[in-house]
Structure 1
């Protein structure tokens, strides 16, 4: 079984690595190559390019990187047409994957997309590109196959892999022990994102907010998880805000931090879903280049940008966007959760219901679906 895969960012790397693990249970001699990250490589994936080379945030930033990314896609297409895989799996990153998948399907190489492009949230016009490009869509959320079927696209709900990884009742005490935190500490997780542009936009506001919270409640403990590539920028931000002694910077332990915390300040993205699955209250924030935000906002289909609010179709947690991303507002909204245990208890119940719905053993279900698609 020869598989080509492309994951264009760290969250996709995590999804693809889990899928690769499930596929190896079904196809023991699996060979997988393409574009990916360290978690995929740990599963035996041969990465021609790192997923970090494709990571782009926002329309304007995408224009700046267009030539470089287009060159990578052309070279990958040529390689795949020369050494044809049995199947191509695009993992999220629809702007990169859909044009490539369309050409591969035309050449007789079946293309399957893991993660349905969020036509239910923004850019509904992409549904036509999906229909022209892919053989099948493996959907992480239960309402997506029905939506795709309305447009003549086949899809299968496979569940969200993060829901399989995270315990229904995360062990907060064990997580705190791993991080060197005391059982009775009040812990605030700072999650400003996993991309360079997100750190540039959100690290300083998050750290200034942490400084304000520390001034009001000196007993608070702050923990910020990240990866090696972002550590220098975050260390500079810590020095700039005078928070280097107050914020514990940890590498590669985002889930441990989410399990350990009492409340989280989170950049919009996959981390919001992970925090919800850990049953932790949060404040969601996002800020990006103004033109990119304006274009995206014109095509937004829901009143929310955070996955927990979108999935529950309710304003469960605060969202602060663009000019609202101010240290005072971030600090005030975060501290409010610590003062309202009844609201936290209700939130945990809603997040538990969501967790149960999304927990479907994605690697096994997706591998089974892929086998059925290829046998059809």
Structure 2
């Protein structure tokens, strides 16, 4: 491979995409030490020598109406990025998730002769089935993190490779709860509820206050509970304000990042729907999944939904193994009751942990290595 062929471009749109892309970049750099990569990324990517022309958090929005205040800025970034990449003609473009941003960009680059890989198959099998045509137009190859996806893509003539889920490779099969509790300053005898209201400002806006209200109800029903909230730095001030207003006092602790330590340490988690629910499943923790968003965005999303489940653990298990309380159902009282129910059902928790262990085995692969192998084949094609 010529040195010029090692110039890659990448776009990762939020925290989870930055994590995936950072792992992939580390593996690619081991394969091609003189790799040069730039585009849109976050701190994990920058740690691997990535040249972030724009930070990934500028693309971190979810919903329909919620995106409107940022839409012009996002479109401006995509236009400038497209122009730059068409002029540079990198050997490969890798779009990491962020489908609404990446698909159109990938299609334009592919039409101009740039090879394109999309990392993380969009969940067209769960909602928005029209995405599959965008995948076909934009991606030369798709890296799939769930085992059933390659067969579905093949039905549409799209080449793909199952690479496993990198989080399953990072999380130990048997988490060390005692070590995590020591790291967080918790005691072995504490009954710990992890509260994860999301990593986006829009999620915190709609979920954090009701999650803290649920915690107040739980503490009233069961004095002595400890609540731990991992927060991303950009949202710490907002979450700290809501936490202080909740009146939970010393029963609630905010920690910077460390979401994996929090999940390893907890007995149960109240958690926003998203990638974090899969992480909780891989830590073998019982959970209550919740979501709330702008009402119009909710109605639009529901019309596009193809499956009865929203949470990844339920989707992957094919049934409601954990409760989902969404939109109007996500009242503080209902959230508190569903979370406390897990603490009173040890046999149910044991059965759930066995189910999650099976899921962990299915998803556990050397994702970065398999993805790099697939990318090399694309470059050689």
TM-score under structure 1 normalisation? 0.99
Q: Name which of 332, 345, 353 aligns with 2:350.
A: 345
Deviation digits for residues 160-218 of structure 1 (CA, Å, limit 9, x no counterpart): 00000000000000000000111111110000000001001000010011111111111
Q: Name which of 219, 223, 229 aligns with 1:214.
A: 219
Deviation digits for residues 24-65 of structure 1 (CA, Å, limit 9, x no counterpart): 121111111110111111111110111111111101122332
For residue 130 of structure 1, what is the aligned residue in structure 2? 135
CA–CA separation in structure 2 for the residues paired with 1:124 and 1:83: 33
Q: Name which of 216, 224, 227 aligns with 2:229.
A: 224
Kindly indicate whether the alpha-carbon contact (under 8 Å) linking 1:226 and 1:250 is maintained by their aligned counterparts in 2: yes
Structure 2 counterpart SS, 1:33: strand
Kindly indicate whether the alpha-carbon contact (under 8 Å) linking 1:161 and 1:361 is maintained by their aligned counterparts in 2: yes
Deviation digits for residues 256-295 of structure 1 (CA, Å, limit 9, x no counterpart): 0000000000000000000000000000000000111111
Kindly indicate whether the alpha-carbon contact (under 8 Å) linking 1:235 and 1:244 is maintained by their aligned counterparts in 2: no
Kindly indicate whether the alpha-carbon contact (under 8 Å) linking 1:112 and 1:135 is maintained by their aligned counterparts in 2: yes
Deviation digits for residues 230-253 of structure 1 (CA, Å, limit 9, x no counterpart): 000001101221124321100110
For residue 120 of structure 1, what is the aligned residue in structure 2? 125
Q: Structure 1 residue 314 and structure 2 residue 324: aligned?
A: no
Structure 2 counterpart SS, 1:153: coil
Q: Which runs of structure 2 are paired with 1:101-180 in the superposition (5 Å)? A: 101-180=106-185
For residue 205 of structure 1, what is the aligned residue in structure 2? 210
For residue 13 of structure 1, what is the aligned residue in structure 2? 18
Structure 2 counterpart SS, 1:116: coil
CA–CA separation in structure 2 for the residues paired with 1:173 and 1:307: 27
Kindly indicate whether the alpha-carbon contact (under 8 Å) linking 2:127 and 2:306 is maintained by their aligned counterparts in 1: yes
CA–CA separation in structure 2 for the residues paired with 1:301 and 1:64: 28
Structure 2 counterpart SS, 1:127: helix
Structure 2 gap segments, 5+ residues each: 1-5
1:66 CA drift (Å): 2.0
Q: Structure 1 residue 73 and structure 2 residue 78: aligned?
A: yes
Aligned length: 376
Deviation digits for residues 72-96 of structure 1 (CA, Å, limit 9, x no counterpart): 0000011111122110000001100
Q: Structure 1 residue 278 and structure 2 residue 280: aligned?
A: no
Structure 1 counterpart SS, 2:52: strand
For residue 375 of structure 2, what is the aligned residue in structure 1? 370
CA–CA separation in structure 2 for the residues paired with 1:185 and 1:240: 24
CA–CA separation in structure 1 for the residues paired with 2:49 and 2:196: 29
Structure 2 counterpart SS, 1:197: helix
CA–CA separation in structure 1 for the residues paired with 2:146 and 2:15: 20
CA–CA separation in structure 2 for the residues paired with 1:293 and 1:128: 24
Q: Name which of 94, 99, 102 aligns with 1:89.
A: 94
Structure 1 gap segments, 5+ residues each: none
Q: Name which of 356, 359, 364 aligns with 1:359.
A: 364
CA RMSD between the two structures: 0.8
